[in-house]
Structure 1
Amino acid sequence: MAWLFLLDDRVDESDVGRDADLLEEYLHDLQGTALGTRGAAGPMGQALEDLVARASAGMGEVWQFRFRRNVSDYLSACVWQAAHRQAGQVPRPDVFPRWRRACGAILPSFDLVERADGGALPSCVSYSRPYQDLLLAAADLVCWTNDLMTVDKEAAHGDPHNLVLVTAHDRRQDRRTAATEVAAACEHRMRTYTSACRDLTDLTATLGLPDTVRDHADRCAASLLVWIRGHLEWGLRTPRYGARDTYAKES
């Protein structure tokens, strides 16, 4: 989290985050470190190499590949974000949620849930429809509640990479109306999460997986909910976003 915040602030709070070509060059070595194709360069690269190595210790190659790819996708999404800032373009609502997940580095963070809860899930579980539904619903809930908490800050900085601002622009709404729609979308994603939890339990039973694997899958699903709630509680208390002045509590 500390590494992500340092890089995120470097990208969001400086001119490098508004020049896609400059940012692509800046992130070039980090991309190689994330994918394991080149050695680390500079403090951020060395820190990333250390984090990836320690996170991957004892985990299988499939998990390691997925984790590295998700870190790489986050770095690429930073460049996508910079390109939109540079051109003064508001992202299209049909593509924004996918890019928002990547920009938020949520999926590599969620990969660590498996590690913390006992190791990598088998591919028949991690790539199944219920677990993928869980991951995406949880990721959207983290990102969209974050957008509710940060909308005033990002609007003040002229940064449109926020679901409330994207919705307001696309539907020609005021910010408060758009925030209400985003809050309703969060409720829908929460229902998706709840339904997927039941489907995951049914799936692991149908596949006849050992009780240890079934329990592990259920723990991972529960940990995603803890992640969602923990992020919300932190966001409402941290002075980072000036949360008392946003729409999150109302929504």
Structure 2
Amino acid sequence: MTAMRSATIWCPYPSRRNSLVSVPEVEQRLHEWALAAGLLTEPAIEKRFRQARFGECAAYSYPDAPDLLVYAKWLTWLFVADDEFDENRAPAEGGIDRGVLGLLPLDGAAPVAARTPVTAALAELWRELAATMPRPLQERFRRNADEYARSYASDLARDRTGAVPDLRAYIELRRLSGAVETCLDLIERQPEAYLYPKLAADPATRAVRLAANDIICWSNDVFSVAKEFRHGELNNLVTVLHGASGMTWRGAVETAADMTSARTREFDDLQDRLLAEQGTPALRQFVAGLKAWISGSLDWHRSSPRYADSLL
């Protein structure tokens, strides 16, 4: 697999970098937190962490968040957990793949005993994340976080037979394994973007969220395929397309990028219709947050050394 930079993912939304806080300061405090939490277990992992610039990722994904550090911590936690499973470093027992609801208690209850640095960091971080969340948002975030964690225990995620998964099955898994639903929940942690349960559960709102989820996950797949392929991870849109159709790697990259661009056009149509029908101030702010995530995540992937050897 060789590096190729021929495909383009179309995105009509300008990205914005958070200017409410000092991003270099967030990066430094994030590094201190990750070290103290025991998430950076080896010099190579710590070096890769510094190069990735997760604080920068948060700054583009949440450009209006005044407390950016807690968002950056969540993104860091997700990437650390994901890397453990991608690289087969996940613990045999006590990991997140059996669910995390016990680590995310409601009403001030004590969390279950954490058995690894990753689960201990999650229990600590939950108290900080949940502090400003309305109860319905806490409940939704918990469900989405638990579905994400349990996705690692699915047969498809655990498969190491060398067989490429079916495209439809892969897309369904990716909507869970990307943890994007939790990241979109956090847009509503900002009060002006909070959606009351009826509006959040509306099918039109859900359709817009689902399209954003696909776009963000598929974009990540295009940029991360080389990294994942090195570790034997075949759950990637590019790899699925390559294996299922026999197309070249270049063709698979271009097809995945085209699929992502087409899904972005669908998202654009869906959000236009949603706002025309139910354009409340909170919904407009939430949709703006989705656009910021789509464009910000894409820009971070393009610039982060974490994906320097990507296929794009």
Unaligned runs of 5+ residues in structure 2 are 1-74
The Cα shift of 1:82 comes to 4.2
**RMSD of Structure 2 on Structure 1 (CA):** 2.3
Unaligned runs of 5+ residues in structure 1 are 206-213
SS of the aligned residue for 1:170 comes to helix
Match of 2:114 in 1: 41
Alpha-carbon distance in 2 for matches of 1:44, 1:118: 31
C-alpha contact 1:130 1:200 (8 A) present in aligned 2? yes
Aligned with 1:26 (options 91, 95, 105): 95
Please report the TM-score for the alignment, with normalisation by the length of structure 2: 0.68
Displacement over 3 Å in runs of 4+? 28-31, 34-38
Which structure features the higher share of helix residues? Answer: 1
Aligned with 2:242 (options 165, 168, 172): 168
Deviations 1:20-55 (A, max 9, x none): xx36x5334745214669524143333212322222
Alpha-carbon distance in 2 for matches of 1:140, 1:233: 16
Aligned with 1:12 (options 86, 89, 106): 86
Question: Which of the pair has the greater relative contact order for Cα pairs under 8 Å at 6+ separation?
Answer: 2
The Cα shift of 1:227 comes to 0.8
- Counterparts of 1:99-248 in structure 2, within 5 Å, are 99-116=173-190, 118=192, 120-204=194-278, 214-243=280-309, 245-247=310-312
Change (3 A) 1:16 1:115: closer
Letter in 1 for 2:250: R
The Cα shift of 1:117 comes to 5.0
Match of 2:41 in 1: none
Please report the TM-score for the alignment, with normalisation by the length of structure 1: 0.83
The Cα shift of 1:165 comes to 0.6
Aligned with 1:60 (options 101, 123, 134): 134
Deviations 1:136-158 (A, max 9, x none): 11111111111111122222322
Letter in 1 for 2:308: G
Alpha-carbon distance in 2 for matches of 1:154, 1:228: 21
Asked if 1:83 corresponds to 2:158, the answer is yes
Alpha-carbon distance in 2 for matches of 1:241, 1:34: 31
Alpha-carbon distance in 1 for matches of 2:132, 2:101: 23
The Cα shift of 1:217 comes to 0.6
Match of 2:12 in 1: none
